[in-house]
Structures are given as C-alpha cells and as structure tokens.
Chain A
C-alpha cells in the first residue's frame, strides 16, 4: 500500500495530486515496523527548480541593494514585487517541507502510539498544502513567455464542411463571447465577414483583459464538430471544422493608436491598399467603401478590414491585427527555441492539429491534447466549464515545459 501510494503520486503530475484524497499508510507502517520516508508522501521539487529558486534569492538581494541605493524606477519595483512573491512562496514551501520531515521523524522514532497518530493526522493535513504550494512555486519558477500579460485577439474561420462549418464558427464565436461574459472580460467584435452567400467566413473578436492571451492561447488550432446539421433532412451526422487563431493584442487598434502603429513599420516594409485605387478620389467620390488591406512584405501577412464606415478606423484595426500576428510569430519562435533541444519529443501544436471535438449527439467535448472529457456540451458552450479545461491543459503544458527546462539545463 505504501508503494502504491508513492507510485500513484509519482505517476501523476504534482498538480493533479492536489485533488487527491491522501490515504495514509499508518497501520501498515506499524504492523511491519517499516520506516516511512518523506518521498512516500510527497515528491519534492526538481533540483533544477530548486537551483532557480536559489538564483532568485540572489537576484532579490541585488534588487534590494539597488533600491536602497535609490533605484525607484517602475521596472525595478515591479521586478522586486514579482521576485518577492515567488520567494515568499518558496520559503513557505521550504518551511512546510521541513515540518513534514519532522513529522515523519516522529512517526519513525516515537514509540508513543498517541503521538504517532497525532503526527500522522498532521501529515494528512500538511501534504495537500505542501503539494499545492509546490505546484504554485514551480509554475512561477518557469521562465515567463513573451506577451503572457497581454489581452487577446481571436480569429475564427470555417474549415471543411461548407455552410455547417460556417454555422459552427458562429457557435464558437458565441462560445467565446459567453466565456468573456462569464469571466467579466471586456470584449468587442472587431469584424465579422460574410461570403457572398451570406455565411460567416471570418470573425475577429478582441478580449480586452490583461493576461487573457495567456488563458485563451490554448484555443489555437482546429476545432471539430460532429452533429446533425439543422439543414440535414436525412438525419445524418456530419463532421465539420473551424480554425481558431489566438494572438496577443499589442495595439488598441483605434484612431488614437494608429499614428504609433504606423511608426512601427518603415514604408518599405508594408503596402497599404485601398479597395478603389484608380480614379481621382477626394471630392469627386462619396462612396462608403472604406476597406483597407495591409500587406507586411517581409512575412507576406495580409490583413483586410472593411466593417467600419471610417477608413482610418479600418486601417487602425488592420494594424492592430497585423501587430498581433507578428507578435504571435515572435512568440512561436521563442517557444520553438526552447523546444529545439528536445528533439525526442517535439510537441509543437501545429495550426492544422485537431485540438478538440464537440460531439453533440453524445453531449461531449473532448480535448485531444490532454485527453480531458467534458460531459456537458451546453455548459461548455455557455462558458462555465472553460476554466476546468484550461486547468487540465496547463498541467499538461507545465510538465512539458518542465521537461524542456531540464533538457536544456542538462545540455549546458
């Protein structure tokens, strides 16, 4: 049983153990008079992360010194508070681990049965706390990825499946609006495009809460739906898809941000088309066509906006989307670099990867990356189950990143 428990703990990520009811090995330990060890209750943090924590405490001392010498700039102050939060958590981790060791010693060395059982019950309350704390510290010790603090822009487009794919895209758009509502995130629909048959062919929504990108970025990829379309007379189940791209939002995309956005690019780097080149323009023309297309020449990224009656507004939106796409590229590069060292397990999520299936007839949502199932499709579409899934995805990602870090340090 002791073995079982420790196996169980080892085989799971630290995050998942948190929710586990810890079964104590007390009786068995006594009957056979075996020695218990800390490892049986709890898998300590990876030594590499411990090393990072050490480095952080050096950094903290440096920062303290700088500030006592008069460095009160915002950057230093933000760093100071961030580092101090991590260190605080780390210190309580170290303290709790010490306590656990002490309690384990009591169990091993004491002969007084009452004391032992008291120690055991203390262990029982301590272990979950320690696990939660360790998970929290470990997450914060991993290097922060670029743009994690940014709001998000989501682009949705139908994939295979014709009009049913377009309808599903609209459903997904409503789902993200529901998620935003549920989390009280401000949001706006940047644009909604229809093809000439009247079906949605693109939707862009901006979720304007700082850090929204870090939560929603897991949505990037192909979403698949299996259901009987409303238009299907024979009652057959169809499979269609929609693609979602999540970008970090860099610029507001308003008249106010436009001048600054334009300054980010040299004239030779971008080409801006209006949809009615030719003709004298100006007073000669009073068309309402204010579509703008921006082409970023080095990457070939093309953004077109036409929903607004004002051309500068369309242009500002297009710039905002362009900058978000470029920022996303930058971030993908960073992630790829961190993964480069682990040739054995390249898990970059390709944009063409199916990440999730929405099965209506079985009332089930399956996320293929973490294998998590949600048996409440309406609840998921209403945004109430989203946090649950994100938690699971982050656990999976956390392990992956930890492995990357270890591989990287080993190569040094």
Chain B
C-alpha cells in the first residue's frame, strides 16, 4: 500500500481539496478521483461532505453509497452485513454461464452463509427456473437479503439456519450447494494487510461474524450438508489451501474436485461434483492447470 507522501497530498489539493480526505482511504490519487466521481454521481449534493468525511474514517464506500454492483444486480449494502466482493461476483457469473450452457438451469440450489443474498439472487435472476434457498445466522443479513430479493424482483426462500449445527440443516434435496462462509482465521484477522491480514476498513467497519472462520465451515459443508441434501456439486469460496484440503477430505468418496483461481491469481474456490451426475459441468470452472497471472 502506497504511503501518503506530502507531495501526493499537495497534488490532490491542487486538483480538488475534496480529494485530500479521500486519499486517506484510497491511498491512490487515481482511485480518489474515481471515488469522488462516484460519490457525486450517486449521492445528492447535500450528502457529499458527510460522505467524504465518513470515507476518511475508512467507512467502506459501498456502505456510504448504499450499494454495490453484482453482475446484472445492484446489491444493497449496509453496516452489519458483508459487502459483496468482486471475486465472488466473478465466480458467480462464471457459474451462471456454466449452468446455462450445460442446460441444467432448473435444479435446486442452497446458498449457505448468504449475507446480502448476492449469490443466490444473481443465480435466480439469470436462471429463473432455479429453486433457491438462502440461509444465514445473522438477522441483519437475513433482513437485507429479503430487501435485496424485492429489489431484484425475483423470489427465493430465505431461512435462519446455523450452518455449523448439523441438526438445523433443512431436510431437503439441493442439487448444488454454494457458499462463501467466513474464512479469515482469527489469527489473521488482527494482522496488517501485508502479513495476510485484513484491510483496516474491513476490520473497523465490516461484521466480524461474517469474516472470522476457518476449517469448521468447510468440514460442516462437505461432511454434513452435502450428504444431508443429496447434493451433487459444490462451489465453496475460500482463501486458504488448508480450507480446500479440508473440503475435499470430507466429501463423499465418488466425487471429483479441483481448484478455481480468481482473476488476481489467488486460490478462490473449491469446486467439487459427484461423478456421473449432472453437476459434472462444474468441472469447467476448474482452472488450476491454466497459467495464472
């Protein structure tokens, strides 16, 4: 992360003094210019000063503007619920493409740890024949997911479920399970970004419950939820190789699996499917053998 030099601050001030506080959050002049433009495009003039002041306190711009694009959707964002990430958007759009071209767009999908509801809502929006259930443990998340559902003008089921509690898992068939569970180990959560830690803005303003978690989620998903729901495929977002290994170690025997890397070249998802099932198409998401940036 670039240091804020006096020179940079002076240059920002010369262009527009409003950029100076924004630089505290963006650390890059280009990005500060972009953020100022978005603020002015999306908020009424009366809110500009307040927005800039909040941003200087590292409040995420997505909370300030109140939304974040996610594929063809505009997902509402509010404090207490995780902001959708571009990495999630990226694999989710690829998943839509894979399901669509494999013509398996009328299956049932469970999205565990749904947060704002971004994943199941985009799936449902793009593939209206899907049957979708979204679950989370946070009331704020469930509330926002419902609001986002109305905004996206689609219908999905939303339930309060503790993914880590085996007994709470709904007894229903779900061909596909998607999830972006909390995956930052507690030990990394308080470290600086450079040492695998998190952005100050994340630590200060996003809900810890949505972020801190590790192998227990992948174990619960692969070992308990997949068999209970008779699933044939999973797409699980993750941040660490250990989480991938934990996932595949707990899957049923006759399953295949592979790694998905995101555009930045980071390991991002465990992809797995039951051999011979309709979810074999998920294999197209695996890109571990291609060259990465």
Contacts and interface: CB of A to CB of B under 8 A. Distances in A.
Given A288-B31, A290-B86, A283 B264 contact: no
A280 B61 CA distance: 20
Given A274-B263, A279-B193, 6 more contacts: A255-B71, A255-B72, A259-B94, A267-B291, A283-B198, A287-B31
Contact of B196 (A255, A280, A306, A310): A280
A308 B265 contact: no
Contact of B87 (A198, A277, A282): A282
A310 B93 CA distance: 12
Interface in B64-87: 68-72, 82-83, 85-87
B182 interface: yes
Contacts of A259: 93-94, 97
Given A280-B196, A284-B239, A307 B34 contact: yes
Contacts, number: 123
A285 B199 contact: yes
Pairs of residues from A and B, 8 with the lowest C-beta to C-beta distance, nearest first: A310-B69, A311-B86, A259-B97, A198-B15, A284-B198, A274-B264, A282-B239, A286-B60
Nearest to A278: B264
A258 B92 CA distance: 13
A274 B201 CA distance: 20
A56 to B, nearest CB: 41
Nearest to B87: A282
A390 B30 CA distance: 38
Contacts of B286: none
A288 B211 CA distance: 18
State the majority secondary structure of interface residues on A: loop
B187 interface: no
B197 interface: yes
B239 A311 contact: no
Interface residues of A, number: 38
B199 A287 contact: yes
Interface string A254-293: 0110110000000110011110110111111111111010
Contacts of A273: 293
B93 A255 contact: yes
Interface string A282-317: 111111111010000000000000111111110100
A143 to B, nearest CB: 36
B291 A283 contact: no
A198 B33 CA distance: 9
A308 B183 contact: no
Contacts of B262: 281-282
14 contacts: A255-B93, A259-B94, A267-B291, A268-B291, A281-B85, A282-B262, A282-B268, A285-B202, A286-B62, A286-B202, A287-B31, A288-B26, A288-B38, A289-B28
B50 interface: no
A230 interface: no
Contacts of A284: 184, 188, 193, 196-199, 202, 239
Contact of B239 (A276, A283, A315): A283
Contacts of A255: 71-72, 93
A198 B11 CA distance: 10
B112 to A, nearest CB: 15
A401 B28 CA distance: 51
A262 B62 CA distance: 28
B62 A288 contact: yes
Nearest to A290: B86
A277 to B, nearest CB: 6
A197 interface: yes
A283 B184 contact: yes
A198 B183 contact: no
Nearest to A292: B263
**Residue of A259, A277, A287, A308 most packed against chain B (CB within 10 A):** A287
A286 B266 contact: no
A221 to B, nearest CB: 29
A283 B69 contact: no
Interface string B36-49: 00100000000000
A312 B193 contact: no
A196 interface: yes
B289 to A, nearest CB: 10
**Residue of A196, A197, A292 most packed against chain B (CB within 10 A):** A196
A307 B34 CA distance: 7
B28 A288 contact: no
A194 B15 CA distance: 11
A286 B85 CA distance: 7
A321 to B, nearest CB: 17
Interface in B181-221: 182-184, 188, 193-194, 196-199, 201-202, 206, 210-211
A307 B35 CA distance: 10
B147 interface: no
Given A196-B11, A283-B184, A288-B35, A311 B90 contact: yes
A310 to B, nearest CB: 4
A98 B28 CA distance: 74
B93 to A, nearest CB: 6
A229 B34 CA distance: 28
Contact of A280 (B83, B237, B239, B293): B239
A382 B75 CA distance: 39
B16 interface: yes
B29 interface: yes
A274 B28 CA distance: 15
